[in-house]
């Protein structure tokens, strides 16, 4: 068995205001990772789940997992830019560990959007769990924070 690489995923779907799906293959938008200014050896990636509709933002490595990381999406026709900020997924609750999180449906809009996380240990402990889109190690568990994402 291979050693586990520390890291976590944020999964979500992204649509435009009309409800049209935005994926990494969509030629109308450009998605890039904003590298942290303080450097480090954190690995960041934008991937698609096997369902071809769900995006995954990956953060991995031995340093920088506690930082907030950013993804920039530019609508090429208008140059409108959305930045999604992904805070560290180190959870509260009885057990504190990096969780894969499901943020639900996000809608492209100009400006900066920060993924919201539970505010208390009890809220972390009561998050529902979804099973889909296995990560590199085959783990398909995502804790659902989608109800917190009110745009």
Note the pLDDT tens digit of each residue in 42-60: 899 999 999 999 999 999 9
Q: Which residues pair with 15 in a beta bridge?
A: 21, 107
Judging by DSSP bridges, how do beta strands 101-107 and 7-15 pair with one another? parallel
Dihedral sign for Cα 108, 109, 112, 118, please. negative
Question: Distance between alpha carbon 55 and the CA centroid of its chain, in Å?
Answer: 8
Span 113-141, pLDDT tens digits: 999 999 999 999 999 999 999 877 788 99
Map tokens 């031995």 to a residue.
62
The predicted model scores a pTM of 0.92
pLDDT grade for 9, boundaries at 50, 70 and 90 = very high
Asked if residues 67 and 45 have their Cβ atoms less than 8 Å apart, the reply is no
Please report the pLDDT score of residue 138 as a whole number.
83
Please report the pLDDT score of residue 69 as a whole number.
95
| Residue 22 three-state SS | strand
Asked if residues 101 and 89 have their Cβ atoms less than 8 Å apart, the reply is yes
C-alpha distances (whole Å) from 120 to each of 8, 126, 127 are 20, 10, 11
Mean pLDDT of the chain: 92
CA–CA distance, 55 with 22 (Å, rounded to integer): 9
């Amino acid at each position: 068995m291979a050693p586990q690489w520390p890291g976590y995923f944020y999964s979500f779907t992204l649509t435009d205001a009309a409800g049209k799906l935005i994926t990494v293959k969509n030629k109308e938008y450009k998605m890039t990772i904003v590298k942290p200014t303080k450097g480090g050896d954190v690995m960041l990636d934008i991937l698609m789940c096997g369902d071809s509709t769900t995006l995954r933002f990956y953060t991995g490595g031995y340093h920088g997992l506690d930082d907030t990381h950013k993804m920039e999406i530019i609508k090429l026709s208008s140059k409108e830019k959305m930045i999604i900020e992904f805070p560290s997924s180190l959870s509260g609750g009885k057990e504190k560990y990096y969780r894969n999180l499901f943020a639900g449906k996000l809608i492209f809009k100009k400006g900066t959007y920060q993924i919201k996380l539970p505010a208390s240990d009890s809220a972390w402990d009561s998050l529902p769990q979804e099973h889909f889109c296995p990560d590199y190690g085959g783990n398909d568990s995502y804790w659902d924070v989608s109800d917190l994402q009110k745009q």
